[in-house]
Amino acid sequence: NAGVTQTPKFQVLKTGQSMTLQCAQDMNHEYMSWYRQDPGMGLRLIHYSVGAGITDQGEVPNGYNVSRSTTEDFPLRLLSAAPSQTSVYFCASSFTGAGGWEQYFGPGTRLTVT
């Protein structure tokens, strides 16, 4: 199993550009989520999904869109990048509601918005 994979590893965007961060898992997990991690801080939940076709907002959803058309994939779209979105983004998955199960994390995408 590859686990949770994320692409790209690094990305530099100009303000106003859009892009999609990819996340895929091969563990047949129902639950997937996106977090951002800023320096000296823990992870903050952006969006999550409890299954294909079902998504919901986390703590900091503004400026981001998600969709879940398959169990395996959960892309995160930045609609119009802003410098405040400079961060490291982590995707995670687990069998069901993350609170009751361990989450498996991807290696992260380091995004810089200039």
Partner 1 sequence: SQQGEEDPQALSIQEGENATMNCSYKTSINNLQWYRQNSGRGLVHLILIRSNEREKHSGRLRVTLDTSKKSSSLLITASRAADTASYFCATDALNTGGFKTIFGAGTRLFVKA
Q: Which residues lie near partner 1 (CB under 8 A)? A: 4, 31, 33, 35, 40-45, 48, 50, 56, 58-59, 90, 92, 96-108
Closer residue to partner 1 (CB): 106 or 111: 106
**Backbone region of residue 30 per phi and psi (left: phi > 0; alpha: psi in -120 to 50; beta: other values):** alpha
Nearest approach in angstroms of CB 7 to partner 1 is 14
Nearest approach in angstroms of CB 102 to partner 1 is 4
Closer residue to partner 1 (CB): 48 or 64: 48
DSSP 82: -
Nearest approach in angstroms of CB 48 to partner 1 is 6
Per the CB < 8 A criterion, the answer to whether 33 and 48 are in contact is yes
**For residue 23, what are its two tokens?**
């996340």
